[in-house]
Amino acid sequence: MTRTKFKKIPFDLELAKKITNKEVKGRIVTEDNLPARIVCFDYNFGGKKDNIVAIIEHTGYEGVLTCFADGLYHYDFFNKKYALHIEVPTYYRDYSNFVPMKWQPCLVRDNENHLWGIQVYSHTDCQGKMLFYNDEGYVIPYTKVLPLSKVTARLIGTTKSYEELIEELDRNGKD
């Protein structure tokens, strides 16, 4: 199964609201990777209402931050360790050297015009072709092979490439 990894991106107020409301997958962290939880998006600080109040989780205790709408900490202009960032999931794994195990279900197709389907791996022949059982029990080769996972299963019945799927998932931010 593909493990979700996260990549850090600059703080974006609208995306932070969606993450807080569980509309989009992601998490809010400080520059030092401390988890942060936003509890108020319109805090009145210094006459301005577009400030953020966040709770950060240190080892053993929680601290309160007051930040600008761009995620910068009010009292820490020079040392940015408390500046807020967003981490969003990235689903990409490099499957260019993927070698299936015997009896492993895989996503297969011959070229970009064919639909992805599921076949069970049989073996690799002496010419290096990966052979899969078809519906009638015969073994046939496929040139494009991916492991079957929660992420790659979204390709079944489509002609999308794996890279297109990952770009779409990264853009949407939803699982």
pLDDT in tens, 79-105: 566 788 888 877 667 787 888 999 999
CB neighbours of residue 58 within 10 Å: 11
pLDDT over 70 for what percent of the chain? 85
**Residue, of 133 and 15, whose pLDDT is higher:** 133
In this prediction, residues 70-82 reach a mean pLDDT of 66
In this prediction, residues 22-32 reach a mean pLDDT of 85
In this prediction, residues 3-21 reach a mean pLDDT of 82
What is the distance between the alpha carbons of residues 69 and 46, in angstroms, rounded to a whole number? 13
**Residue, of 129 and 47, whose pLDDT is higher:** 129
Q: Is the pLDDT of residue 13 over 90?
A: no
Residue pair 47/21 in contact (Cβ under 8 Å)? The answer is no
Beta pairing, strands 105-109 & 144-147? antiparallel
Strand order in the sheet with 5-10: 5-10, 84-90, 27-30, 35-45, 48-58, 61-67
Mean predicted lDDT score pLDDT of the chain: 82
Q: Is the pLDDT of residue 68 over 80?
A: no
CB neighbours of residue 71 within 10 Å: 25
Q: Comparing 3-12, 20-29, 77-86, 151-160, which segment has the lowest mean pLDDT? A: 77-86
User: What pLDDT is recorded for position 91?
Assistant: 67
User: What pLDDT is recorded for position 79?
Assistant: 56
